[in-house]
Structure formats: C-alpha cells, structure tokens
C-alpha cells in the first residue's frame, strides 16, 4: 500500500456535496428574486420603447398614433400600436409572463402630430410582481414625456 495515496475518500466527497447543497439552497431564492426584478425592468423598458416609437411616428407621419391595451385597463395582456387613420398595426406587445401585473389609469393613449397626448391629464401604469416588493410606475405627461419611477410597496 503506497504511503501517499491520491484521490478523495467517500467521506470527503459526501461533505463536499452537503456543503454545495446548503450553498445552493441559500442562493437560488435570491436568484429567483433577481430574475423577477429584471423581468419588471424589461416590461417597463418595452412600454417606454413603445411610447417613444408612437410619439416619434406621430411626428414623422403627421398623423395620430394610438397605443391601446388588449385587455382594457389590464395592460398585462399586451398592447397594440396603430395608426389611427388607417388602423395599420405598427407593433404588438405580447402578454406578460408569470405573476406580473400591469394596470393603467387609461385603456389607450393617442399621440397627435406634434407628439403630445390627447388625454388632457397624466396617464400612469403600475407594474408589479407578487414575488418582488418594489415595482415600477410609468407615467406619461401631456407633452408626451415618459418617466419610470420605483413604486414601493406595490399596490
């Protein structure tokens, strides 16, 4: 029998597996939380992109452009971007995945040829997820300027 044997014993391997499983059980829940927060950011960015596209297309084409929810004030089911005069579809956003909710104060937002909304007041949406304590509030001013702020706690 050699004096200095190389390799792992069964006990060393079992201890390594136990330590790895403990570390993974601590790390996986926080990783899921990170994924949910990143999804909220992605959804907020999708809405910002749609609003900016609608505003710039309204100015470029000189005709009103409308963003309308496919589910009333529940924007979680997606939204469409259309040219008002021809009803041509420019963009569609799919429904949100998972436990995310996206509710708004309006069912649609129309931009005129100058890039202003025709609402006469602020339009706002709350973007939340059941697994994340802070959400996002998206607001569009009458001038068409969009802003995203953190919403804590989510309603």
Which residue shows structure tokens 């084409």?
Answer: 61
Residue 17 has pLDDT above 70, yes or no: yes
| pLDDT for position 3 | 65
Q: How confident is the model at residue 152 (pLDDT cuts 50, 70, 90)?
A: confident
Q: Is the pLDDT of residue 12 over 90?
A: no
Q: Find where tokens 């609402």 sit.
A: 119
- Across the range 96-118, mean pLDDT stands at 89
CB contact set of 148 (below 8 Å; sequence gap of 6+): 44, 48, 136, 137, 138, 139
Q: What is the pLDDT of residue 35?
A: 84
pLDDT of the residue at 74:
87
What pLDDT score does 2 carry? 59
Bridge partners of 127? 102, 136
| Residues in contact with 31: Cβ distance below 8 Å, sequence separation at least 6, in sequence order | none
Q: Can you list the domains of the chain with their CATH numbers?
A: 11-151 (3.55.40.10)
Beta carbons of 68 and 83 less than 8 angstroms apart? no
Q: In this predicted model, what pLDDT tens digit does every residue of 100-109 receive, in sequence order?
A: 889 888 999 9
Biggest alpha carbon–alpha carbon distance for the chain: 89
> Residues 105, 109, 113, CA angle at the centre, nearest 5°?
155
Tokens of 37: 């927060």
Q: Residue 58 pLDDT more than 90? A: yes
User: Which residue's structure tokens are 């390799």?
Assistant: 7
Cα of first residue to Cα of last residue in the chain, in angstroms, is 70
- Does pLDDT of 1 surpass 60? no
**The model's pTM:** 0.77
| Residue 151 contacts residue 40 (beta carbons within 8 Å) | no
Within 24-105, strands assigned E span: 65-69, 79-83, 89-93, 100-104
């Amino acid at each position: 029998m050699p004096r200095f044997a190389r390799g792992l014993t069964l006990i060393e391997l079992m201890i390594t597996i136990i330590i790895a499983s403990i570390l993974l059980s601590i790390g996986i829940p926080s990783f899921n939380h990170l994924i949910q927060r990143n999804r909220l950011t992605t959804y907020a960015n999708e809405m910002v992109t749609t609003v900016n596209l609608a505003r710039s297309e309204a100015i470029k084409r000189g005709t009103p452009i409308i963003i309308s929810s496919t589910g009333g004030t529940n924007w979680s089911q997606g939204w469409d971007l259309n040219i008002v005069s021809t009803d041509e579809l420019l963009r569609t956003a799919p429904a949100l995945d998972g436990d995310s909710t996206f509710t708004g104060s309006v069912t649609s937002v129309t931009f005129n040829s100058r890039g202003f909304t025709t609402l006469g007041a602020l339009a706002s949406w709350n973007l939340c997820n059941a697994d994340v304590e802070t959400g996002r509030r998206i607001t569009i001013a009458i001038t068409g300027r969009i802003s995203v702020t953190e919403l804590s706690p989510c309603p």
